[in-house]
A and B are shown apart, each in its own frame.
Chain A
């Protein structure tokens, strides 16, 4: 386990930027900013122009940390307190879950919640609950 400091200013500002990006994608392309949907569409695009905007969005996302690096002189912290096996097993489980659940933290948790979609509200409370439970089991019962 790695202790992290409470960062209210950065987290509020970061959240506002995440919300702003979601609003701008809706304003320009009329689409929901969901990482799951964007990624799934890259794997199986409907056509070339459908693939193009998704790839542009993903490239922009990956540029984000570099902009932070350029402005602050430091890469955003990525501290991984779990094993490589946990990253891979967790990643596969996340991929299966978000596909069946039709979305993740960005699509359901931000965009869907903001539209007061009943499906997104149920999805968000469900995954938040199972994440709390999983972290409790992993850290305090299994003691990993």
Chain B
């Protein structure tokens, strides 16, 4: 039940990404190309998703717990640090170069287009590199403390 419902939620997300145009790098890049072939569609995707989630979260988070778990697992940090801002800035550079963001690319794998697999392969490599660097930085810090 739990896995079937999660699968179906993935389907809803994947259909939403597909019809919204977020899986299409040409459309995404045109939103950011105000000085060129501008296509404002993306702002409507974000606005519509935001309003739906804003209202929905208020209803859902009024519950004591989610249906299949004992409690909500929400990010609790509120501090703005260099990692958050720097990482997000770097993400935007990659998004601007490739035209894919992770949430747009994962459903697009279903189209079977080889370009999507190139991007997702590189995305996984980037995540692995960052995990390695973070682990290395962590080890270096504990070594210095010791």
Contacts and interface: CB of A to CB of B under 8 A. Distances in A.
Interface of A: 1-8, 10-36, 38-40, 43-44, 52-53, 56-68, 75-82, 84, 86-102, 104-106, 108-115, 117-119, 122-124, 126-140
A76 B111 contact: yes
The secondary-structure label for the interface of chain B is helix
B24 A4 contact: yes
Contacts, number: 509
Which 3 residue pairs are nearest across A and B when measured between Cβ atoms? A64-B14, A95-B126, A60-B10
Interface residues on B, range: 35 or more
Interface of B: 2-27, 29-30, 32-37, 39-42, 44-54, 56-57, 59-61, 63, 65-69, 71-75, 77-80, 83-111, 113, 115-116, 118-131, 133-134
B78 A101 contact: no
The secondary-structure label for the interface of chain A is helix
A105 B104 contact: yes
A136 B98 contact: no
A113 B21 CA distance: 20
B80 A119 contact: yes
Contact of A65 (B18, B69, B133): B18
Contacts of B44: 8, 11-12, 15
Given A35-B106, A119-B79, A139-B36, A20 B100 contact: no
B24 A114 contact: no
Nearest to B12: A21
